[in-house]
Every structure is written in C-alpha cells, then in structure tokens.
Structure 1
Amino acid sequence: MLTVTDNARTAVEGLVQANEVPAEGGLRIAEAAGQPGNFELVLVQAPEAQDEVVARSETSHVFVDQAAAAALDELTLDVQPDVEGPGFVLVQAEA
C-alpha cells in the first residue's frame, strides 16, 4: 500500500483547508487518462466508491484509485517544498 509521509499529510491538510474541501474529502491519486505510468493528483469532495484510503486525519484524507493501487504499492508520497507551494513526489519506499 502507498505510504504517506508526515510532511505530505500536512501539505494535504493545508490544501484541503485552503480550498474548503469537506472533512470527508481529500487528495485523490489515480492513473492519468491516456498516459500509462503517470498519475494525477486532484482534490476531491469525497472518494470514489472503489478508492482505498491510505491516509486519514480529522480534516483530510489521501485516496488511491483502485486501478492505480498496485502500481503505487511500494511507493511513498512525499513533498518537495517549492516557492509556489509543495510539490508532491512519489518515491521508492524505504525498506
């Protein structure tokens, strides 16, 4: 299962609050349409029926599309600070 760092969790919470996403919503990761091997991250009001919840807090969640779950299984969601806000990255999970 995809793991989420504390820094990524904090960044998701900040984005959710800044965009007034309800507490049951959060960041959703899915395969990019027509771009195999690429993923899109989007803020959603609620998960899709088949989404996996990989991180949760009182104010936000991180959801993974069921079709993308296997490809993300051994990865970690982290952030790289940027002048315009955090940039999410997927990195190989540490053993």
Structure 2
Amino acid sequence: MIILLTITMYRARIEVSLKQGHSDPEGEMTTQSLKELKFSAKKVNVSKIYTIVFEAESRQKAKEALEEMCRKLLANPTKDNYSFKIEEVE
C-alpha cells in the first residue's frame, strides 16, 4: 500500500511583543529620541516580526508547527505575547 502525502507551502507572519508590565528599554529610548526631534510621541512599543516560509501536510499541522516554533525559540513565554497569520503560498 502506498500512501501519498500532500505537502503545502505556507508563509507565516509572527509578531512577538512584550507582555503588559514588562520594561521595554528600546521603546523608551525611541520615545525619548522622537521627543528630542520635536515629535509628539507619547509611547513607543517595540515588537519583532518574523516571516517564515515552510512546508506542512495541512493547515492544522502548519499551525501546530508555528505554535511550537514560538514556544521553543521565537518568544519567551514569561515575558512575551505572540500572534501569527498564516497563508498558503502558490
């Protein structure tokens, strides 16, 4: 018996940002610099955006892989929130 697996290419956009209450020195410095340049910046929050292209057997498997990527490498669960959007690549 031969089992054929369909592999689909996906593109994910993952945003990682600090949880409420965690210090954001880069955001604070950027806010201060913008004020010094005479912009009326009140608060800057810095986030990271990752774009990842990868293969998976299904959309569900792709979501599971992204969750694992975030938990194991891309986000620190004690201080970061993350969200992602996923789309098929043709």
TM over 0.5: no
Q: Larger Cα Rg: Structure 1 or Structure 2?
A: 2
* TM-score relative to the length of structure 2: 0.28
Select the structure with the greater relative contact order (CA < 8 A; seq sep ≥ 6).
2
